Amino acid sequence: MKRFILTSLVLPILFLGACSEGNEDEEVDQTQQENDSVQEDEKKQTNEKDSDRTEVDTFGGDFEAVAHREDIEKVKVGPLTINVVVSNLVKGTITDSFILDNIGKENIDYINIGLEIDTTDEDINFSSEHLKLTTNTGESFEAPHDYMSDQVEMQYIKENYTRSRMISYLFETSTVEEVESVDFLIKAPTDNNGQPLGEDAEIQIDF
């Protein structure tokens, strides 16, 4: 089992907690690019780690990647191309008080999914509510966890430029040991009249 550096918890939380509503798009893009770069570097480090080491200590808490998948599937949904690069089932304990206040509980189980997104058209409607997930245990989510996930709205996804995003779903009734597979549903974006552009894509991730 591969060790995985869990930027999906720490980096998005720091980003979302630090940004005020008055931030300019440029600042958001710069922060996201820095996050993207760190995530890429850490993914390379992951491949060099001992496969039996799964525990990760961060300043935000102690976490363990229980299961790990890479190179899952690439799909085209209307003008969007979405590559599901990596996914992890993670459990751990939050030790940072600021993060704890925003997550709401100390011991957590969650899944993170790393995406690469590019588009040929920015004038579409697409948001986190287009990314739905259901586990084999029957737990379902209408959108990723706001505080633990990167932004996927079109104002952050530029035309002809690939953006890396990490999204997370925080389990409420399931544990990572119980989750054997998930169905990841990507709803098609819509035009300004609310009409879907392309077909929905459903991806099964087996652990």
Q: What percent of the chain has pLDDT over 70?
A: 71
**Given strand 80-94, what is the order of strands in its sheet?**
55-58, 61-77, 80-94, 107-119, 163-170
**Could you report how far apart the first and last alpha carbons of the chain are, in Å?**
11
Query: What pLDDT is recorded for position 8?
Result: 43
Q: If you average pLDDT over residues 193-200, what whole number do you get?
A: 95
For residue 188, what are the domain limits?
7-206
Quote the pTM value: 0.75
Q: Is 198 within the bounds of a domain?
A: yes
Q: Is 1 within the bounds of a domain?
A: no
Q: If you average pLDDT over residues 113-130, what whole number do you get?
A: 95
Q: How confident is the model at residue 20 (pLDDT cuts 50, 70, 90)?
A: very low
Q: How confident is the model at residue 52 (pLDDT cuts 50, 70, 90)?
A: very low
Nearest-angstrom CA–CA distance, 166 and 84:
10
Q: Is 32 within the bounds of a domain?
A: yes
Q: If you average pLDDT over residues 83-104, what whole number do you get?
A: 93
The answer to whether residue 182 scores a pLDDT higher than 60 is yes
**Given strand 181-186, what is the order of strands in its sheet?**
140-141, 131-135, 181-186, 201-206
Query: Which residue's entry shows tokens 């035309």?
Result: 159
CATH number at residue 52: 2.60.40.4170
Nearest-angstrom CA–CA distance, 5 and 116:
18
Rounded to the nearest 5°, which phi and psi values hold at 6? Answer: -90, 70
The total domain count for the chain is: 1
Which residues is 94 bridged to in the sheet?
A: 61
Nearest-angstrom CA–CA distance, 3 and 102:
26
Q: Is 99 within the bounds of a domain?
A: yes
Q: Is 2 within the bounds of a domain?
A: no
